[in-house]
């Protein structure tokens, strides 16, 4: 992971309890929640931060509204693809997004994700809660390297937010 040129790397705290079907995370981002929410809901911004740097992010569908569906594809340098999809159940600007999440490589294992954007002065506390269908599904997500990918996404999001605040 590189932190070149970034002064305020976000630190994410995870709560992953044995035997539970959920993952909770908290990240403090140095940007107003309206900007963070926009980075989550604008496809042109979303592709700039979601997922590890090694992938190009392509949007197949991205309807940031209640009932809207989304599908995002990570494309590797060798052409390999990893697709993710879901449906937005609730999109309440700038407070909350609740959606389903499914990795197409392991179909039928759907998680429910809620992201809460809390204003903390001129910063944003991002609280995420993922609920899986089973402990086995949750453990599979953890074993897949989810935490490293999420950390890299938050690093990239922080870099994007710095550019947005600077007007670039």
pLDDT at residue 6 in the model: 46
DSSP of 21-87, one letter per residue? SEEEEEEEESS-HHHHHHHHH-HHHHTTTSS-TTSEEEEEEE--STT-EEEEEEE-TTS-EEEEEEE
Dihedral, CA of residue 90, residue 87, residue 38 and residue 149, to nearest 10: 120
pLDDT at residue 168 in the model: 76
Q: What are the residue boundaries of the structural domains of the chain, listed by start?
A: 15-165
Rounded to whole angstroms, the Cα distance separating 38 from 142 reads 27
Rounded to whole angstroms, the Cα distance separating 125 from 36 reads 10
pLDDT at residue 119 in the model: 98
The CATH architecture annotation of domain 15-165 reads: 2-Layer Sandwich (3.30)
CA 154 and chain centroid, separation = 8
Mean pLDDT, consecutive 10-residue stretches, the chain (168 aa), reads 54 96 98 98 98 96 98 97 97 98 94 98 98 96 93 97 92
């Amino acid at each position: 992971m590189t932190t070149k040129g970034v002064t305020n790397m976000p630190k994410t705290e995870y709560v992953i309890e044995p035997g539970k079907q959920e993952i909770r995370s908290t990240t403090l981002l140095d940007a107003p929640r309206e900007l963070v929410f926009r980075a989550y809901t604008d496809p042109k911004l979303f592709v700039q931060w979601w997922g590890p740097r090694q992938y190009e992010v392509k949007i197949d569908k991205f309807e940031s509204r209640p009932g809207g569906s989304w599908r995002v594809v990570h494309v590797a340098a060798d052409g390999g693809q990893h697709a993710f999809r879901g449906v937005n159940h609730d999109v309440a600007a700038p407070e909350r997004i609740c959606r389903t999440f499914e990795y197409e490589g392991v179909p039928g294992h759907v998680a429910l994700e809620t992201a809460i954007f809390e204003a903390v002065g001129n910063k944003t506390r991002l609280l995420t809660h993922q609920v899986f269908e089973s402990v086995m599904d949750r453990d599979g997500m953890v074993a897949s390297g989810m935490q490293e990918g999420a950390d890299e996404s938050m690093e990239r999001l922080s870099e994007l937010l710095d550019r947005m605040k600077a007007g670039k």
